[in-house]
Amino acid sequence: MKRLLQLYYFAYGSNLHKEQMQNRCPDSIPIAKATLADYELTFKGNWRGNGVADIQPKDGDSVTGAIYKVSKFDRESLDRYEGYPRLYNRHVIEVVREDTGEIVKAFVYRMLDHYMLTPPGEAYFSIIADGYSDWGIDIKNLETANFKLNLV
């Protein structure tokens, strides 16, 4: 039986992968594609030296992701997975649902500022790409974020 669902979560990285998200957060319900304005997708290094997905403020840019409805139990699971609060902090943001145009308040994880820009590993990038496919998101922004870091 599903626990009480009451929180919206905006996924933009590996949690777009629906099967992975369902395994990690069994109460989660995929809701809709959504856009976060004035942010860009990037990757920063974690403690293993691999780049993991992050979002950073950038006027005029946007990040396409997805909204899930999650339980408090799921949020605790996400907190552990995301390394909250030592790797990522949790923030409340507003995203626009692609299907209805509705503005939705959701929580999102943003990496702490002191982590450096770092390209992702192939396996991790592939999981995110599969998530983009799950949601029908154009992979161009993901490829652009990765390409920029490989030029550095």
Instruction: Pick out the residues of the known binding site for substrate.
Output: 9-14, 124
Say how far apart CA 23 and CA 77 lie, in whole Å. 10
Look up residue 83 and give its amino acid.
Answer: G
- Write down the catalytic residue from 19, 40, 76, 82: 82
Binding residues: 9-14, 124
From the list 43, 63, 65, 55, the residue with the least C-alpha distance to 122 is: 43
Q: Residue 28's closest CA among 77, 79, 101, 94?
A: 77
19 assigned to active site: no
Query: Which residues are known to be catalytic?
Result: 82
